[in-house]
Amino acid sequence: MTEVLFISMAAARLGLHPQTLRKYERLGLVRPLRTTGSMRVYSEDELTRLRAIKYLVDQKGINLAGVQQLLALAEVAQRLRELTETGGPIGRPDGRRRLVREVDRLCNLLGF
């Protein structure tokens, strides 16, 4: 079973205030799951993402708008990596189209 943490526990583990996690969610930086009662729960993937956000803000001095752009670039880069790995979908009929679409997204994010 995958461990999940409520907002207060996740915030304490990361050394952040729960309100900071709420702000990150409002900005779309994280998307915690919700319980039936609408309580936020954070998976290990979300905690990893939050650690990356904290690093970029605290250690690299990047503002949240910059963090949003970097995370969007990282997501496109990850999809490109998956498309270009050996045995990936490049050989399939829609593979080239998907690759072109991701490159277009990357160029758009970079302002090209």
What residue segments make up the domains of the chain, in order of their start? 1-62, 63-112
Query: Token pair of 9, please?
Result: 């526990």
pLDDT tens digit sequence for 29-46: 999 999 889 899 999 999
What does DSSP say about strands 5-6 and 33-34: parallel, antiparallel, or unpaired?
Answer: unpaired
The single residue listed with the structure tokens 């991701």 is 102
Higher-confidence position of 47 and 98: 47
Please give the CATH number for the structural domain made up of 1-62.
1.10.1660.10
Instruction: Report whether pLDDT(95) > 80.
Output: no
Quick one: CA torsion of 97, 102, 104, 106, rounded to 10 degrees? -170
CA separation (Å) from 9 to 3, 23, 54? 12, 16, 16
pTM over cut 0.85: no
